[in-house]
Structure 1
Amino acid sequence: MGPQDPHGRRRDREGRRSVGRPRPARQRQTDLVTGYRSRVSDMTSTNDRFYEDLPTFDDFEGVIDFAAYTPVSDDWVLVMSDVVDSTAAIRAGRYKDVNMGGAATITAVLNACETTQVPFVFGGDGGTLVVPGSLREKACDALLDLQGGSVALYDLELRVDAVPVSMIRERGQDVSVRKFTLSPGNHLAILAGGGAELADDLVKDPAPDNPWLLRAETEREPPDLEGLSCRWQPLNSRDGQMMTLMVKGLDRDSEAEAALLRRVLDNIVRILGHDLTNSAPCGFAFLPPAPTAKPVVSLAADRSGAGLV
């Protein structure tokens, strides 16, 4: 051991300050490809419990009550995956493989987060999660492991990125969340604010200087997909036809967007003649109650084979 300088830092025999053991290559690569290092290394358990402690709601119309959404802390990170050329794969009849690739993203990151509950959204050809800064490196490692193994597992390439919530806000977007109760102890995260859309644009930007893309530049460990379960269920139409209606407000004002979506929901209820949730093609009775339940990505397909996610 060499002598210490006046500040207590260890020096070698030639008087040079020791920098200690080099960080593992895997950690160095994660820091490099994310372009972001967490500024908070001593995250409090309260911050990590943000989603677990978030109040829930069970009235579906509450999804358009944007004032009730809770902003995610600046030091959290939005991580996302996207199956490359998923449209062509679906046209080739490989919608199950595409969906499995998206579901695997959620499973891999949840396993990395262990007991910390985090919001996640399954997008069919990818997955979106928001994780505390204290788990950023673990989540990025999980995404890189999955990216490195996705071709062998599903014969599909996977794009992944990690975008700090603070940067999303610097670009004029936001990340807020609500927790909708599906059944006792089982919840669905709903994101608002435009942050997920921004991250989606970034993950599809192939520019070599895109600092938010994660790239598996070295050989990776096999992804931890323990608990992955995609429960395909055939759905039969009760009234002769099923459809998915996707509506996106273009007004940046949240009150105007809420008013638009309110009119859409009211008109759907008027046309159906009953509450919207009564027309859901499937229920959630199969989900086990908490606390034993683990997050499960559930998929369904109609008789034509079209994926309903």
Structure 2
Amino acid sequence: MFLKHSTQGYYANLPRTDDFDSLTDPKRYVPLPDDWVVGVADIVGSTDEITRGRYKIVNTVGAAVISAQINAANGAPLPFVFGGDGAGFAVWPTQRLAAERALDAVRRWAREEFGIELRVAMTRVCDVRAAGRDVRVARYAPNDEVDYAMFSGGGLAWAEEEMKAGKLSVPEGVAGDTPPDLAGLSCRWSNVKSERGAILSLVIEPQDGVPEECFGKIAEAVVAASGADPRGLHPVPRSGPSAQFPPPGMTIEARVRQTGPYLVRLGALLVENALIWALMKTRGIGNFDTKVYRAEVAQNADFRKFDDGLKMTLDCDAQTQSRIEGILRKAKAAGMVRFGMHAQSEAMMTCLVPSATQSNHMHFVDGAAGGYAQAAARL
């Protein structure tokens, strides 16, 4: 039975697991209450942006949706998922208006700063269920300080389809002239080169009508194929990513910040990043250990997820890629899944860092040359 009324603490009180493999089991997911609201966002023409070499901007806009929602909720735990060229999330009913304003503000910001059109929409969980889909979540915790939501039930995918068809949206202007609160959003790490052969972006979705248990078995086989490596083909080295000066995303981050003229923001970031780059060349200062922090970046990285399907960014050798592709081609021939793959030489990260002195920083990993967006285009 679904809960009809709930508080914001519903998600915060759900159990967490550090066993990603177990999340192939649909029984590990818990239905969100009927009165909760799901939100989705998607960049229009993301493949054209990739062609123009602007995929880092695309990732930043996708992560900005999540950053704005976390800040609108004053840091209260809420389920969200990063999709490369968009994002999905859910909030409790009293948070809906603030969530809509945050979506509208990010939409206007993306348009004004980057010339990017962002579709945004929200709908109640009960309406998703009335359409024959569901919204169920699980919490995956790579460490004690960070966890990421996993989604199943097809609800987010349905909401995105309705949004793209023009049936769901958030009205323009509900945020007024208020800019989005993107505090903590950054993109300072260097791209990570593949050590095994290629950075493989993988998107797998069940065909319509396929039971979740059947899709779970296929996902389990794919995860097991990547699990032959002790770190699951993690694209970020155990010691963490490297930093360079100036960082590749500095001009983008200057547009994330909302106070002062652009050149002043850029100048301040130049000084700030010079100090950070110099600090990263040392063991740290005070209680801040650069070696520990960089290792935490790798540990906290969100490189695989369940999002009404399975998405993974893997540092993959040719043999393992062939094995994964063989599993998926067989499943596709049986009418069970559709999938898309995209190989590139580097991965990149977009980060949410509430505080550099704490361990709750989050890092969204994607392929640097189209990643999830290109893989999804090949479904």
| SS of the residue 2:138 aligns to | strand
Distance 2:232 2:218 in 1: 22
Closer/same/farther in 2, CA of residues 266 and 117 from structure 1, 3 Å limit: closer
Alpha-carbon distance in structure 2 between the residues aligned to 1:157 and 1:185: 34
The amino acid across from 1:280 in the alignment is H
Shift of 1:293: 4.9
With over 3 angstroms needed to count, the CA separation of the structure-2 counterparts of 1:231 and 1:60, relative to structure 1, is: farther
8 Å contact 1:161–1:203 — kept in the other structure?
yes
Which residue of the partner structure matches residue 129 of structure 1?
89
2:235 maps to what in 1? 281
Give TM-score, length-normalised by structure 1.
Answer: 0.74
Trace 1:11-50 onto structure 2 (pairs within 5 A). Answer: 47-50=7-10
Q: TM-score, normalised by structure 2?
A: 0.62
Q: What residue number does 1:296 align with?
A: 362
Q: In 2 relative to 1, CA 289–226 (structure 1 residues): closer, same or farther, beyond 3 Å?
A: closer
Report the Cα distance in structure 2 between the residues aligned to 1:300 and 1:258, rounded to whole angstroms. Answer: 23
Write the mapping of 1:231-250 to structure 2, written as runs, cut at 5 A: 231-250=188-207
How far apart, CA to CA, are the structure 2 residues paired with 1:268 and 1:299?
A: 16
Q: 1:222 aligns with which of 166, 171, 179?
A: 179
Q: 1:205 to 1:232 in 2, by over 3 A?
A: farther
TM-align CA RMSD: 2.6
Shift of 1:300: 5.4
1:118: which partner in 2? 78
Equivalences for residues 42-191 of structure 1 within 5 A: 47-191=7-151
CA contact (8 A) 1:79 1:163 kept: yes
The CA deviation at 1:135 is: 0.3
Going by fraction, where is helix more abundant, 1 or 2? 2
- C-alpha separation between the residues in 1 aligned to 2:170 and 2:190? 33
SS at match of 2:106: helix
CA spacing shift, 1:62–1:306, aligned 2, 3 Å: same
- Relative to 1, partners in 2 of residues 1:89 and 1:294: Cα closer, same or farther, differing over 3 Å? same
Write the letter of the residue equivalent to 1:65.
D
Q: Distance in 2 between matches of 1:198 and 1:170?
A: 12
Q: Which amino acid aligns with 2:235?
A: P
Aligned-partner Cα distance in 1 for 2:23–2:177: 39
CA distance in 1, matches of 2:146, 2:354: 7
What displacement does 1:203 show?
1.8
Equivalent in 197, 210, 213 of residue 169 of structure 2:
213
Check the 8 A contact 2:25/2:216 in 1, yes or no. yes
Q: 1:203 to 1:254 in 2, by over 3 A?
A: same
TM-aligned CA deviation for residue 102 of structure 1: 0.7
Provide closer, same or farther for how the CA distance between residues 280 and 119 of structure 1 changes in structure 2, counting only shifts above 3 A.
Answer: same
Q: Distance in 2 between matches of 1:268 and 1:278?
A: 5
Q: What is the alpha-carbon distance in structure 1 between the residues aligned to residue 165 and residue 189 of structure 2?
A: 32
**In 2, are the aligned partners of 1:299 and 1:308 still within 8 Å (CA)?**
no
Cα distance in 1, alignment partners of residues 220 and 371 from structure 2: 27
CA contact (8 A) 2:40 2:159 kept: yes
- Which whole-Å CA distance do the structure 1 matches of 2:367 and 2:222 have between them? 26
Structure 1 residue 278 displacement after superposition: 3.6
The structure-2 alpha-carbon separation of the partners of 1:127 and 1:266, relative to structure 1 and needing over 3 Å to count, comes to closer
How many residue pairs are counted as aligned between the two chains? 256
One-letter code aligned to 2:98:
K
Gaps of 5+ in 1: 1-39
TM-superposed deviation, 1:217: 4.2
CA contact (8 A) 1:107 1:227 kept: yes
**Which runs of 5 or more residues in structure 2 are unaligned?**
239-294, 301-352, 374-379
Measure the CA separation in 1 of the matches of 2:183 and 2:220: 40
Within 2, Cα distance between the matches of 1:308 and 1:263?
20
CA distance, structure 1, for counterparts of residue 121 and residue 367 of structure 2: 29
Identity of aligned residues (%): 30
| Cα pair 2:200 2:367 within 8 Å, conserved | no
